[in-house]
């Protein structure tokens, strides 16, 4: 048994023993679980992939005369922002698109530039045009504003993910006879390919399946900066069916993340265009897991072959509730480049970059070993498997016409 | 016997002429059409894989040149911007000729130019715009 305080003492002295979630498996097999649990302090996990529920909120300061953006209309880099707060505060979501973007009117749409790309341009230090139209008040008389904005001129710019780090995800295929364009990439007809989106055994919540160490207030690597887990993510669904080792067999827990955009690195935050689907943002996340005891060690030793995911036909919508689950495969098979389904070999592609995830796990490991990053105690628990917390589908109720 | 891939650009005035059949008839060359299109300006584009003797190939090219068709070797056309690629592998199962492959050691996506037929699918599928095509 160890405490986070003891682990931080060892990090301070430069004595912490740290492995990535890929490296720990071999080490624990060699040393035995008991010994490894005593020796190892921290295991680092990571993921890098498109996450649509990403955005930034920011404050532009005040112009002279003053302008009230809240309730007005604002674009940054031509992309609409959500102007529904105090005078100088805005929110920009990764999926936002310029008014004039044809979207899927020219099918499949290209979605070359959206909110995610604006966020990338900001981090890269580019000047972007902010254009605002407001209604004017006695205290904020100005109605129009058109100015260049640079990240260094902004007050706060906070990266906020209302959902990230999905604990497991569907494998997407297309059973129909024409190609489909989805957030899981282009899916060729007649089971032409199978796409997945998880770092598998390196992915944060698959290494802490019951959220025993990861919780509200956990300090993390967020796109090259130090960030925090702010809450559980939207669509958090911990009560799904699990394997004997506790691994969810389909999409389950999620995390909400927060950090300072000014501290992030453009290598880990990239504007993304999904053909025929939309614009989004790819985000790199690394989460340390303190090896407090043997139980935690057993979780971080999870292997790709222990993690299974449902193969879902995306030609019929995609939630397991209203679509056919065609089979179950594991991440060792997915990462090999092909899976077997319906007696056929189907090539696989990933939306999540395992190479980037591996790099992030390595960077976080180096930060901890060098005494640059200390672990934080979670201040609140995420609802776990036995909490009764569930994701609800929308039950539509048609409003009565007046 | 050699196999080469070329891109032919047909100016507007040649689009309705029979030209490439002579590669078979007069120069004993075999060809496989990889891509064909006529753009709104009525200029034509044809991507061919040509098989035959080196001598016949050179004579065939000479003939095409004389007709006014512009010829470009295919390998110059598709390129990968390594700085933009995040090695996600979304492109790999979409590539019809396995010109995009994952290196299992480095996990990097590698572009094998010799296998590319410039179909352009990777340009659309890449979420990071790392692949580009210029004819």
pLDDT bracket for residue A319 (50, 70, 90): low
Q: What is the mean pLDDT of residues B79-103?
A: 96
Sheet holding A128-133, edge to edge: A79-81, A73-76, A128-133, A144-149
Q: What is the mean pLDDT of residues A287-293?
A: 98
b/e A129-151 (16+ beta carbons within 10 angstroms → b): ebbbbbeeeeebebeebeeebeb
3-class DSSP state of B80: strand
Q: Which residue of A has its CA nearest to B107?
A: A355
**CA A391/CA A321 separation, integer angstroms:** 12
In this predicted structure, the answer to whether residue A318 has a pLDDT above a threshold of 70 is no
Q: Which of A254-263, A288-297, A390-399 has the lowest mean pLDDT?
A: A390-399
Q: Residue A385: inside a domain, yes or no?
A: no
Q: What per-residue confidence (pLDDT) applies to B73? A: 77
Q: Taking a C-beta distance cutoff of 8 angstroms, is the pair A209, A247 a contact?
A: yes
**A347 in reach of chain B (CB within 8 A):** yes
Residue A96 lies in a domain: yes
Residue B75 confidence (pLDDT): 61
- The answer, yes or no, to whether residue A324 has pLDDT greater than 80, is no
pLDDT at A14: 97
Structure tokens at A218: 């956990």
Q: For chain A, what's the residue count?
A: 402
**Residue A41, domain extent:** 4-52+159-369
Of A139, A154, A169, the residue at which a domain comes to its end is: A154
- Write down the pLDDT at residue A342: 86
Three-state SS letters, A355-400: HHHHHHHHHHHHHHHCCCCCCCCCCECCCCCCCCCCCCCCCCCCCC
Cβ atoms of residues A329 and A200 within 8 Å: no
Distance CA A152, CA A171 (A): 41
My answer on whether A220 and A301 are in the same domain is yes
Percent of chain A with pLDDT over 70: 98
Q: CB of A32 within 8 Å of any CB in chain B?
A: no
When pLDDT is cut at 50, 70 and 90, the band that residue A401 belongs to is confident
Greatest mean pLDDT range, A253-267, B12-26, B59-73: A253-267
A171 and A279 together in one domain: yes
Chain A: closest CA distance from residue B113 (Å): 20
What is the Cα–Cα distance from A58 to A91, expressed in whole angstroms?
A: 6
Q: Is the ipTM of this complex over 0.85?
A: yes
Measured distance CA(A183)–CA(A160) in Å, rounded: 20
DSSP A145-167: EEEEE-GGG-S-EEEEEEEE--S
Coil, helix or strand at residue A81: strand
Min mean pLDDT across A181-195, A378-392, B68-82 is at B68-82
Nearest CB to A349; choose among B90, B107, B108 = B90
Q: Is residue A194 situated within a structural domain? A: yes
Q: What share of chain B is helix, strand, coil (3-state, %, to 5)?
A: 25, 30, 40
Confidence category of residue A352, pLDDT binned at 50, 70, 90: very high
| Helix (H) or strand (E) run with residue A30 in it | helix A23-31
Cis status of the peptide bond prior to A65, with omega within 30 of 0: yes
Residues on chain B touching A94 (C-beta within 8 angstroms): none
Rounded to an integer, what distance in angstroms lies between the CA atom of residue B32 and that of residue B51? Answer: 9
Q: Are residues A68 and A24 in the same domain?
A: no
Nearest-CA distance B43 → chain A (Å): 23
A255 has a pLDDT exceeding 60 = yes
**What is the rounded distance in angstroms from the CA atom of residue A369 to the CA atom of residue A366?**
5
Q: Indicate if A197 belongs to the active site.
A: no
Is there a single domain that holds both residue A150 and residue A165?
no
Contacts of A6 (CB under 8 A, 6+ apart): none
Rounded mean pLDDT of A76-89? 98
Domain ranges of chain B: 2-75, 77-133
Cβ atoms of A363 and A216 closer than 8 Å = no
Looking at the structure, tell me whether residues A278 and A331 fall in a common domain. Answer: yes
Query: CA-to-CA distance for A234 and A176, rounded, in angstroms?
Result: 30
d(C-alpha B65, C-alpha A174), whole Å: 45
**A120 and A163 fall within a common domain:** no
Q: Encoding tokens for residue A355? A: 């190479």
Torsion sign across C-alpha atoms A167, A265, A367, A365: positive
Residue A320 has pLDDT above 70, yes or no: no
User: CB burial class (10 A; 0-12, 13-18, 19+) of residue B62?
Assistant: exposed
Q: For B13-33, how does the pLDDT look when each residue is reduced to its tens digit (9 = 90+)?
A: 988 889 999 999 999 999 999
Residue B134: the pLDDT is 81
A242 touches chain B (CB under 8 A): no
Q: What percent of chain A has pLDDT over 90?
A: 97
* Residues A77 and A187 placed together within one structural domain of the fold: no
Tell me: do A209 and A309 sit in the same domain. Answer: yes
Give the 3-state secondary structure of residue B93.
helix
Q: What is the DSSP letter of A173?
A: E
Catalytic residue among A52, A81, A139, A301: A139
- Whether residue A322 is predicted with pLDDT greater than 80 in this model: the reply is no
Instruction: Given CATH 3.30.70.260, say whether it is the number of domain B2-75.
Output: yes
Q: Give me chain A's average pLDDT, please.
A: 96
Sheet with B70-73, strands from edge to edge, namely: B30-38, B44-52, B2-10, B70-73
Mean pLDDT of A338-354: 96
Residue A338 is encoded by which pair of tokens?
A: 């092909």
- Whole-angstrom distance, CA of residue B89 vs CA of residue A202: 17
- In tens, the pLDDT along A35-64 reads 999 999 999 999 999 999 999 999 999 999
For tokens 């776990």, name the residue. A384
Query: B2-75 with B77-133: one CATH topology?
Result: yes
Question: Where among A135, A154, A173 does a domain terminate?
Answer: A154
At B135 the pLDDT is 64
Supply the pLDDT for residue A167.
98
Considering its fold, how many domains does chain A have in total?
Answer: 2
End-to-end CA distance of chain B: 27
Question: Does the residue A388 lie in any domain?
Answer: no
Does A163 share its domain with A139? no
Regarding whether A337 and A217 lie in a shared domain, the answer is yes
Residues A287 and A345 in one domain: yes
* Helix, coil or strand: residue A93: strand
- Is the Cα dihedral A96, A101, A107, A112 positive or negative? negative
Minimal CA separation from A274 to chain B, in Å: 5
Q: Which of A186, A274, A354 sits opposite B107 (nearest CB)?
A: A354
**Is the domain of A235 the same as that of A357?**
yes
Q: Output the pLDDT for position A343.
A: 92
Which of the residue ranges A110-114, A162-166, A193-197, B32-36 would you say has the lowest mean pLDDT? B32-36
CATH number of B77-133: 3.30.70.20
Write down the residue that tokens 């993910």 correspond to: A161
B107–A350: do the CB atoms touch at under 8 Å? no
């Amino acid at each position: 048994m160890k405490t986070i305080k003891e682990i931080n003492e060892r990090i301070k002295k430069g004595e912490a023993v740290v492995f990535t979630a890929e490296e720990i498996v071999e080490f624990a097999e060699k040393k035995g679980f008991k010994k490894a649990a005593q020796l190892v302090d921290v295991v680092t996990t990571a993921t890098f992939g498109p996450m649509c529920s990403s955005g930034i909120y920011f404050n532009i300061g005040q112009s002279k005369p003053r302008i009230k953006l809240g309730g007005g209309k604002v674009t940054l880099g031509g992309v609409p922002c959500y102007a529904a707060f105090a005078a100088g505060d805005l929110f920009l979501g990764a999926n936002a698109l310029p008014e004039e973007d044809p979207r899927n009117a020219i099918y499949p749409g290209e979605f070359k530039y959206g909110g995610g790309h604006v966020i990338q341009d900001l981090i890269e230090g580019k000047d972007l045009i902010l254009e605002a139209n407001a209604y004017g008040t006695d205290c904020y008389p100005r109605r129009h504003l058109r100015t260049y904005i640079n990240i260094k001129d902004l007050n706060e710019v906070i990266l906020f993910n209302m959902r990230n780090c999905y604990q497991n995800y569907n494998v997407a295929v297309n059973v129909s006879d024409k190609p489909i364009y989805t957030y899981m990439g282009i899916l060729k007809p007649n089971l032409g390919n199978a796409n997945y989106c998880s770092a598998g055994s390196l992915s944060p919540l698959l290494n802490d399946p019951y959220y025993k160490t990861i919780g509200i207030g956990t300090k993390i690597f967020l796109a090259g900066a130090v960030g925090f887990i702010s809450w559980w993510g939207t669509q958090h669904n911990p009560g799904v069916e699990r394997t004997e080792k506790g691994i969810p067999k389909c999409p389950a827990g999620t995390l909400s993340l927060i950090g300072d955009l000014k501290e992030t690195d453009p290598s880990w935050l990239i504007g993304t265009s999904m053909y025929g689907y939309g614009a989004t943002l790819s985000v790199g996340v690394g989460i340390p897991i303190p090896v407090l005891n043997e139980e935690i060690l057993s979780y971080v030793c999870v292997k790709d072959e222990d993690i299974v995911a449902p193969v879902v036909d995306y030609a019929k919508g995609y939630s397991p509730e209203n679509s056919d689950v065609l089979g179950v495969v594991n991440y060792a098979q997915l990462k090999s480049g092909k899976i077997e389904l319906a007696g056929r070999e189907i090539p696989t592609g990933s939306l999540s970059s395992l190479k980037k995830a591996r790099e992030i796990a390595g960077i976080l490991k180096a930060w901890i070993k060098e005494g640059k990053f200390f672990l934080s105690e979670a201040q609140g628990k995420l609802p776990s498997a036995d909490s009764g917390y569930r994701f609800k589908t929308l039950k539509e109720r048609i409003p009565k016409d007046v | 016997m050699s196999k080469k891939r070329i891109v032919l650009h047909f100016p507007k005035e040649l689009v309705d002429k029979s030209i490439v059949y002579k590669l078979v008839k007069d120069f004993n060359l075999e060809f496989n059409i990889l891509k064909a299109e006529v753009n709104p300006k009525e200029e034509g584009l044809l991507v061919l894989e040509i098989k035959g003797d080196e001598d016949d190939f050179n004579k065939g090219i000479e003939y095409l040149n004389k007709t006014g068709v512009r010829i470009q070797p295919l390998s110059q056309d598709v390129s990968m911007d390594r700085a933009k690629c995040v090695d996600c592998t979304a492109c790999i199962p979409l590539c019809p000729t396995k010109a995009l492959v994952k290196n299992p050691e480095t996990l990097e996506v590698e572009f094998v130019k010799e296998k590319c037929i410039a179909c352009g699918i990777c340009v659309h599928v890449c979420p990071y715009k790392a692949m580009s095509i210029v004819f």
